[in-house]
Chain A
Amino acid sequence: EDKVVQSPLSLVVHEGDTVTLNCSYEVTNFRSLLWYKQEKKAPTFLFMLTSSGIEKKSGRLSSILDKKELFSILNITATQTGDSAVYLCAVQPAGGTSYGKLTFGQGTILTVHP
């Protein structure tokens, strides 16, 4: 069974700090890894990673995938209080009938204090 483990489970920082969130995975037939941010309700899509070593960036957020070591990191620089949220990592299998089935980790709760 596919498995995703995120660490840390929670993190408290002050504005301006840089944080690194970790996601390791085991999946039988890997296609992609996705990051989501969940504030109050709907998880919102951040990144999809399919290839090793290629950094994806969006503003202060960036993410990279290592398919050899089976992990991904999400970096947030110069954190702001608006970054406070649960960050979810999920993996997606390739092919077959289960190509739409995301397997999620438990999430990292990030709290940014002013």
Chain B
Amino acid sequence: EAGVTQFPSHSVIEKGQTVTLRCDPISGHDNLYWYRRVMGKEIKFLLHFVKESKQDESGMPNNRFLAERTGGTYSTLKVQPAELEDSGVYFCASSLDRVSYEQYFGPGTRLTVT
């Protein structure tokens, strides 16, 4: 069974540019999560999809971040325009359903904003 995959693995952009991160969850997992780890800090929750609906977006830092999950399969996280403080590692995770809570993580996308 393939795990959670993320693309790209690393992205370097300039302040003010736009970046789109992609996450493909484990097949059949209805729940998809985005997290972020900035340098020296703990991993922080951004948002949670159940299928194509946003269940909880309480961790989204501001309106420069837009997450979508069209069709309930893969998800994208767009940052527009990027700021220096957006640099960090963005993790995606998925879980099967509300009964099976274990979240399985992808390898992350390292975003560097210069």
Chain A residues proximal to chain B, CB less than 8 Å: 4, 31-32, 34, 36, 41-45, 48, 88, 90, 92, 97-107
A66 to chain B, nearest CB (A): 20
* A31–B44 CA distance with the chains assembled, in angstroms: 18
Q: Say whether B102 contacts A42, CB under 8 Å.
A: no
Q: Is the CB of B56 within 8 A of A100?
A: yes
A82 to B: closest C-beta gap in Å:
18
Given the complex, which residues of A lie within 8 Å of B43, measured CB to CB? 43, 88, 90, 102, 104
Besides A31-B101, A36-B105, 16 other CB < 8 A contacts? A34-B103, A41-B108, A44-B105, A45-B103, A48-B101, A88-B43, A97-B55, A98-B48, A98-B56, A99-B98, A100-B31, A100-B48, A100-B103, A102-B33, A103-B45, A104-B43
CB-CB under 8 A from B98, the residues of chain A are 99
- Asked if B42 is at the interface (CB within 8 A of a chain A CB), the reply is yes
Q: Tell me if B102 and A100 are in contact (CB < 8 A).
A: no
A102 CB contacts on chain B under 8 angstroms: 33, 35, 43, 45, 103
Complex: how many Å from CA A92 to CA B33?
13
Interface SS of chain A: strand
Which chain B positions have C-beta within 8 A of A41? 107-108
Interface residues of B in 8-22 (CB under 8 A from A): none
Check if B104 is an interface residue, CB within 8 A of chain A: yes
Are A34's CB and B56's CB within 8 A? no
Q: How far is the CA of A31 from the CA of B42 in the complex (A)?
A: 20
